Structure 1
Amino acid sequence: MTVAVTGATGQLGRLTIARLKTLLPAGEIVALARNPEKAADLGVEARAFDYDRPETLATALQGVDRLLLISSSEVGKRAAQHRAVIEAAKAAGVGQIVYTSLLHADRSPLSLAEEHVATEAMLAASGIPHAILRNGWYAENHTGAIPAALAHGALIGAAGEGRISAAARADYAKAAASVLADGGHAGQTYELAGDDGWTLAELAAELSAQSGKAIPYRNLSQQDYAAALTGAGLPEGLAGAIASWDTGAAQGALFDDSRTLSRLIGRPTATLAEVVRAAL
């Protein structure tokens, strides 16, 4: 059996392959990456896999039994890129696809949802057995703001009192590796999120407790948060998108209490205290 992982040199891809190597022989794992040279340290076979060169993808997928399709990082291009991968997988005879989607994609108000829903529909139409991992927010999406919060004395956002059921990226990677290695999840859609949701105010309080520095949470309007992110150097479009995702969180878009993720990985997901400690 051969399993392959797209986006293998990305943060989720690297963690997933590391986990797969504890479940399967390294010789059964293939890392698919735009620049396979960057995958040399993964200890598995690496193949060139460029979403924007669809004519090459089926060749790269030859002999692959199960494929983890990690959603592209290029928002706005994802649907076309994912279609190319799915068509190539069908041409290559891939037996199963596991896809990383978005939490509650079918009803999410987040702008990210549209391309995930489109990809899920493509998978359904393809006839390829598949499983959908609807990943919630990565805790690192917010702990990445810790250096700036410590430097400026406040954590800012626009999520209000919205509870965010974030989990560590490593938790999602463990779930993806388990489903891919097991192969028995075709037809399943899993809503994956952290066990215990938290607000950005609670994140700020935990950061304050662990750092010994008073870091309040300052809730801004979506417009003001976008402006602050632009002022910090983010491109205007990206800043606006991030601010809108916070507004979605305020509406409950990033909350889920099913604990499906912890059941898949066989242990509780990382706590808020643990992810803050890791970030610090």
Structure 2
Amino acid sequence: MSKKILVLGATGTVGKPLVEGLLAKGEAVKAASRANRKMDGVESTPFDFGKPETIATALEGVDRTYMLLPAGYLNVRDLLLPFVEAAASRKVKIVFQSAFGVDANDANPMRQMGNPAGEIRHAPCDLAAELVLRQFPSLLESRPRPGADRLASR
């Protein structure tokens, strides 16, 4: 398998500078986005967690993936599990961006982000995602932490 990093959300606020940083380090990058926007110097591919048919093409030819959750999804387990299982079957390592320490304890302000109407905010979704990923410990490069671009390029 080639040494290529799949960056999910590659054209977004986090993904675009990550792709640029990885390219500057000489890494081979495959850029995935819902709109399949083209980026200079990288292979582009369509990907949407809500469309499982995009998973196989996105994972083709990569050995690592940088994953973060898009905002607005509430059923994290059902959303992530097909992608994580597909990565596991291909032995693709995952670097997952999360709210640092979201699982630390209930007093952590990042765990207190719900509202009276019951709307789930991003940090609790990150916690749910971490719980899904822990089912596949062999896939994880490391515990999520700042500097994920350094992790992904190892």
TM-score normalised according to structure 1 size: 0.45
The partner residue of 1:115 within 121, 125, 138 is 125
* Inter-partner Cα distance in structure 2 for 1:61 and 1:129: 14
Residues 54 and 85 in structure 1, CA contact (< 8 A), matched pair in contact too: yes
* Inter-partner Cα distance in structure 1 for 2:63 and 2:87: 10
Residues 18 and 42 in structure 1, CA contact (< 8 A), matched pair in contact too: no
CA displacement 1:160-205 (0-9 Å, x = unmatched): xxxxxxxxxxxx6xx22111002xxxxxxxxxxxxxxxxxxxxxxx
1:31 maps to 2:31: yes
Flag the 1:132–1:110 CA change in 2: closer, same or farther, 3 A: farther
Residues 31 and 44 in structure 1, CA contact (< 8 A), matched pair in contact too: yes
Letter in 1 for 2:138: I
CA displacement 1:217-271 (0-9 Å, x = unmatched): xxxxxxxxxxxxxxxxxxxxxxxxxxxxxxxxxxxxxxxxxxxxxxxxxxxxxxx
1:98 maps to 2:108: no
Q: CA deviation at 1:9?
A: 1.0
- Which residues of 2 match residues 168-247 of structure 1 at below 5 A? 175-182=147-154
* Secondary structure of the corresponding residue to residue 8 of structure 1: coil
Question: Cα RMSD between the aligned structures?
Answer: 1.9
The partner residue of 2:4 within 2, 20, 43 is 2
Residues 69 and 100 in structure 1, CA contact (< 8 A), matched pair in contact too: yes
* Secondary structure of the corresponding residue to residue 97 of structure 1: strand
Q: CA deviation at 1:31?
A: 0.4
Q: CA deviation at 1:123?
A: 1.2
* Inter-partner Cα distance in structure 1 for 2:46 and 2:89: 17
Question: Whose helix fraction is larger, Structure 1's or Structure 2's?
Answer: 1
- Which residues of 2 match residues 106-185 of structure 1 at below 5 A? 106=103, 107=105, 108-111=111-114, 112-130=122-140, 131-134=142-145, 175-182=147-154
Q: Percent identity?
A: 28
Q: Which has the higher contact order (CA 8 A, sep 6+)?
A: 2
Letter in 1 for 2:46: A
Q: CA deviation at 1:80?
A: 2.7
Structure 2 residues not aligned, in runs of 5+: 106-110, 115-121
Q: How many residues align?
A: 138
Q: Which residue of 2 aligns with 1:237?
A: none
CA displacement 1:116-144 (0-9 Å, x = unmatched): 1221121111243313325xxxxxxxxxx
Residues 99 and 133 in structure 1, CA contact (< 8 A), matched pair in contact too: yes
* Secondary structure of the corresponding residue to residue 21 of structure 1: helix
Structure 1 residues not aligned, in runs of 5+: 135-171, 183-280
The partner residue of 1:21 within 16, 20, 23 is 23
Flag the 1:59–1:47 CA change in 2: closer, same or farther, 3 A: same
Over alpha carbons, which structure has the higher Rg?
Answer: 1
- Which residues of 2 match residues 37-116 of structure 1 at below 5 A? 38=37, 40-94=38-92, 96-106=93-103, 107=105, 108-111=111-114, 112-116=122-126
